[in-house]
């Protein structure tokens, strides 16, 4: 088997001094879609923000396409309360270089840029794609998957509905030509109708062979979409479920919380 | 009041408004991006004026004036760019960034003013206004130089607005101002974009300095009074849109010109502050503002 696209080895992190997740091992193969399921507030977003380079990892490594994204070793603790330690501290990972590598994270509940129009946001989105080909095909895909955006082309983001905003976020992520696209709760807080529309859009994106990590609270949607499912609980991965044996919602609940959930 | 007086006051109010618009939009751009008030903006105005004055010592006339303005704008852009890495970036992760930035920008202002004093001495200078002659405006003779200044100021503001709205680089600057984290996730070098924003702000300060220096005398503290006026402008107009401080700048400019005529000159600042307090009481987000700050 060739090396995986993304590999997390013993990754730990959080918001210092609070530790949110520890010892996370996770892989995403080339051309694979992986699901992450777990209760609210247990650190999925924190884990993915760390992978995206927004938060420094405390320990462990992130490999993407064979390259290490973080600097080696553990995060050193703050050594002095009095000196401006931040002046000397180097970030252990930078979102800019992670994104340049093609690892694109679509943030949960992303507010994007409230005073910019859809057109302006999608104009600056390909910035991260520098040097990678396929921009024209991706624009066609975005148009095919989110026809609604063309109708709101000149509206400011702050006037869009939650669902439309989510569509712009995902479209912007796609225009960055992702080698791996991370969608963090893309259907959170949407009406049932919009939810279905968005789930279909994500299925279409998957049909174009875009590798994915998807976090969602709906087991049926996740199991229909992904090749593998990770269960995430209290800041650690508790179980990995293979595609051949995708469980139902009830079964997942039993796995996570026992018989009496 | 005769028509001539009115025309004269209108013209000088508009010229003042153009100057304040330049300075205030420079301040507002940094404020919306960093959430930090740049107290060094006044010193940047002074430094910009001195650099242009130096250039006009070698080249005279209209060419010298324009060359001086160009050189000054270019140098001040680079200085503003560098200032981000010295004054703001080291404290970015600090919880008290805003307070620290007050201190570092005040320090920079003081350093710049004293550096000016050391390099150019205490004697006042003036940039010779290159465009002499008058034109008839509603029956009064108004200096061509005033019109040139107003035209360049408006053109510079228009160029800045078009840059921010239409170009990808300008849109990236606005993206950073509106949502820093999302901008990072789009792969932008946020630090460099913030530095560019401060550079642009310094460039507008330099241009304003050149104009002030050709209308009045230049001293190391020549920027202090305009800085205070632009602060009033920013508070009066709000910063929701790029244009909000510009409207407010013309209101302040005209109010200053007319109150200097109807009351005594020394009462003009009091009138402006009274206006500002009334606006703050009724509409704290500014005449043209909403509660959020954006670019
Ligand atoms: N900026 C922050 N600073 C400090 N703590 C935070 C911050 N953001 C989140 N937390 C804490 O980290 C923990 C994990 O939050 P996180 O958002 O990663 O969970 P999640 O699994 O994504 O939840 P959800 O399913 O609701 O999105 C929570 O206890 C939260 O309170
Ligand atoms: Mg989350």
A111 touches B at CB < 8 Å: yes
B111-158 pLDDT per residue, tens = 999 999 999 998 899 888 888 788 877 777 888 888 889 999 999 999
- Say how many C-beta atoms besides its own lie within 10 A of residue B63's C-beta: 11
Q: Specify which residues A214 forms β-bridges with.
A: A35, A183
Give, in order, the Cα–Cα distances in Å from A124 to each of A113, A215, B142, B168. 11, 26, 46, 6
The answer, yes or no, to whether any atom of ligand 1 lies below 6 A from the CB of A40, is yes
Q: Give the pLDDT score at B208.
A: 95
Helical H segments across chain A, by residue range: 44-51, 95-100, 118-124, 135-145, 148-151, 162-175, 192-207, 219-225, 249-257
Give, in order, the Cα–Cα distances in Å from B129 to each of A21, A74, A216, B7, B143. 66, 63, 67, 21, 10
Which single residue is written with the structure tokens 């609980």? Answer: A233
Instruction: List the residue whose alpha carbon is closest to atom 26 of ligand 1.
Output: A40
Q: Give the pLDDT score at B292.
A: 60
List the 154-173 stretch of A: residues with Cβ below 8 A of B.
172
Query: Predicted confidence band at B287 (pLDDT cuts at 50, 70, 90)?
Result: confident
B127, B214 in Cβ contact below 8 A?
Answer: yes
Rounded-to-integer distance, Cα B205 and Cα B20, Å: 10
Q: Are B187 and A100 within 8 A, CB to CB? A: yes
Which tokens go with A49?
A: 């923000």
In three-state secondary structure terms, B84 is: helix
The torsion defined by the Cα of A2, A4, A5 and A11, in degrees rounded to 10, comes to: -160
Give, in order, the Cα–Cα distances in Å from B42 to each of A84, A126, A212, B15. 28, 38, 51, 18
Q: Give the pLDDT score at B264.
A: 75
Q: Give the pLDDT score at B134.
A: 81
Which single residue is written with the structure tokens 């044996």? Answer: A245
Sequence-separated (6 or more) residues with CB below 8 Å from residue B179 = A111, A112, A113, A114
Mutation for B interface: A94, A95, A118, most B CBs within 10 A: A95
The answer, yes or no, to whether any atom of ligand 1 lies below 6 A from the CB of A54, is no
B248, B236 in Cβ contact below 8 A?
Answer: yes
By DSSP bridging, strand A103-106 and strand A180-184 are parallel
In this prediction the pTM is 0.90
Nearest in space to B283 (alpha carbons), one of B240, B242, B236: B236
> b/e for B154-171, b at 16 or more Cβ within 10 A?
bebbeebbeebeeeeebb
- If you measure CA to CA, which chain A residue comes closest to B96? A84
Q: Domain ranges for chain B, please list them.
A: 26-222
pLDDT at B293 over 60: no
Q: Are B184 and A96 within 8 A, CB to CB? A: yes
For every one of its 261 residues, what pLDDT tens digit does chain A have, with 9 covering 90 and above? Answer: 578 999 999 999 999 889 999 999 999 999 999 999 999 999 999 999 999 999 999 999 999 999 999 988 777 766 666 666 666 667 789 999 999 999 999 999 888 999 899 999 999 999 888 778 888 999 999 999 999 999 999 999 999 998 999 999 999 999 999 999 999 999 988 889 999 999 999 999 999 999 999 999 989 899 999 999 999 999 999 999 987 777 888 888 888 777 665
A129, A101 in Cβ contact below 8 A?
Answer: no
Rounded-to-integer distance, Cα B268 and Cα B225, Å: 12
Q: Are A124 and B171 within 8 A, CB to CB? A: yes
The answer, yes or no, to whether any atom of ligand 1 lies below 6 A from the CB of A15, is yes
| B188 interaction partners in chain A (CB closer than 8 Å) | 96, 127
| B161 interaction partners in chain A (CB closer than 8 Å) | none
Mutation for A interface: B85, B186, B241, B295, most A CBs within 10 A: B186
| B179 interaction partners in chain A (CB closer than 8 Å) | 111-114
Q: Give the pLDDT score at A35.
A: 95
- Could you give the percent of chain B with pLDDT greater than 70? 98
Which tokens go with B155?
A: 């053109």
Helix axis angle for B168-178 and B190-215, nearest 10°, is 100
Q: Domain ranges for chain A, please list them.
A: 6-257
Sequence-separated (6 or more) residues with CB below 8 Å from residue A150 = A143
Rounded-to-integer distance, Cα B38 and Cα B231, Å: 10
Sequence-separated (6 or more) residues with CB below 8 Å from residue A114 = A156, A157, A158, B178, B179, B292, B294
B19-35 pLDDT per residue, tens = 999 999 999 999 888 88
Closest atom, ligand 1, to C-alpha of A217:
25
Cis amide linkage into residue A76, ω under 30° from 0: no
Rounded-to-integer distance, Cα A122 and Cα B175, Å: 12
A29, A4 in Cβ contact below 8 A?
Answer: yes
pLDDT at B201 over 60: yes
Q: Are B174 and A105 within 8 A, CB to CB? A: no
3-state helix, strand, coil in chain B (%, to 5): 75, 5, 20
Nearest in space to A38 (alpha carbons), one of A236, A190, A260, A208: A236
Size of interface A-B (CB pairs under 8 A): 78
Q: Are B294 and A107 within 8 A, CB to CB? A: no
CATH no., domain A6-257? 3.40.50.300
| A86 interaction partners in chain B (CB closer than 8 Å) | 90-94
């Amino acid at each position: 088997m060739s090396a995986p696209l993304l590999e997390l080895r013993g990754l730990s992190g959080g918001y210092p001094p609070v530790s949110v997740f520890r010892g996370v091992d996770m892989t995403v193969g080339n051309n694979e879609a992986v699901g992450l399921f777990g209760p609210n507030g247990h650190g999925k977003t924190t884990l993915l923000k760390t992978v995206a380079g927004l938060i420094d990892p405390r320990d462990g490594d992130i490999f993407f396409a064979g390259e290490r994204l973080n600097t080696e070793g553990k995060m050193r603790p703050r050594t002095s309360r009095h000196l401006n330690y931040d002046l000397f501290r180097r970030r252990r990972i930078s979102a800019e270089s992670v994104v340049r590598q093609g690892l694109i994270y679509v943030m949960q509940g992303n507010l994007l840029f409230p005073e910019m129009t859809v057109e302006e946001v999608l104009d600056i989105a390909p910035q991260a794609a520098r040097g990678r080909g396929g921009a024209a095909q991706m624009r066609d895909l975005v148009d095919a998957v989110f026809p609604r955006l063309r109708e709101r082309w000149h509206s400011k983001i702050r006037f869009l509905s939650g669902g439309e905003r989510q569509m712009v976020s995902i479209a912007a992520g796609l225009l960055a030509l992702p080698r791996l696209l991370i969608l963090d709760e893309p259907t959170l807080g949407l009406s049932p109708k919009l939810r279905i529309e968005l789930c279909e859009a994500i299925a279409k994106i998957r049909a174009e062979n875009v590798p994915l990590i998807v976090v969602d609270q709906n087991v049926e949607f996740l199991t229909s979409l992904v090749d593998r499912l990770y269960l995430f609980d209290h800041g650690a991965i508790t179980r990995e479920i293979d595609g051949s044996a995708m469980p139902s919602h009830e079964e997942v609940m039993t796995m996570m919380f026992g018989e009496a959930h | 009041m005769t028509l001539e007086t009115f025309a004269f006051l209108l013209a000088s109010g508009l010229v003042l408004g153009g100057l304040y618009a330049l300075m205030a939009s420079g301040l507002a751009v940094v404020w919306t991006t960093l959430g930090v008030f740049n107290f060094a903006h006044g010193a940047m105005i002074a430094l910009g004026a001195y650099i242009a004055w130096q250039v006009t010592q070698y080249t005279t006339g209209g060419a010298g004036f324009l060359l001086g303005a160009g050189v000054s704008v270019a140098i001040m852009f680079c200085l503003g760019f560098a200032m981000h890495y010295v004054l703001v970036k080291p404290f970015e992760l600090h919880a008290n960034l805003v307070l620290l930035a007050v201190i570092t920008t005040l320090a920079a202002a003081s350093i710049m003013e004293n550096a000016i004093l050391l390099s150019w001495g205490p004697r006042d200078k003036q940039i010779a206004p290159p465009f002499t002659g008058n034109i008839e405006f509603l029956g009064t003779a108004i200096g061509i130089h005033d019109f040139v200044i107003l035209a360049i100021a408006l053109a510079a503001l228009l160029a800045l607005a078009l840059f921010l709205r239409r170009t990808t680089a300008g849109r990236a600057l606005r993206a950073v101002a509106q949502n820093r984290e999302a901008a990072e996730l789009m792969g932008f070098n946020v630090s460099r974009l913030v530095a560019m924003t401060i550079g642009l702000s310094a460039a507008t300060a330099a241009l304003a300095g050149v104009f002030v220096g050709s209308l009045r005398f230049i001293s190391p503290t020549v920027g202090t009074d305009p800085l205070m006026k632009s602060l009033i402008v920013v508070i009066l107009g709000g910063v929701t849109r790029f244009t909000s401080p510009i409207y407010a700048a013309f209101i302040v400019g005209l109010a200053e010109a007319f109150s200097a005529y109807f009351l005594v000159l020394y009462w003009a600042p009091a009138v402006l502050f009274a206006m500002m307090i009334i606006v703050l009481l009724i509409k704290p987000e500014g005449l043209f503002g909403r509660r959020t700050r954006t670019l």
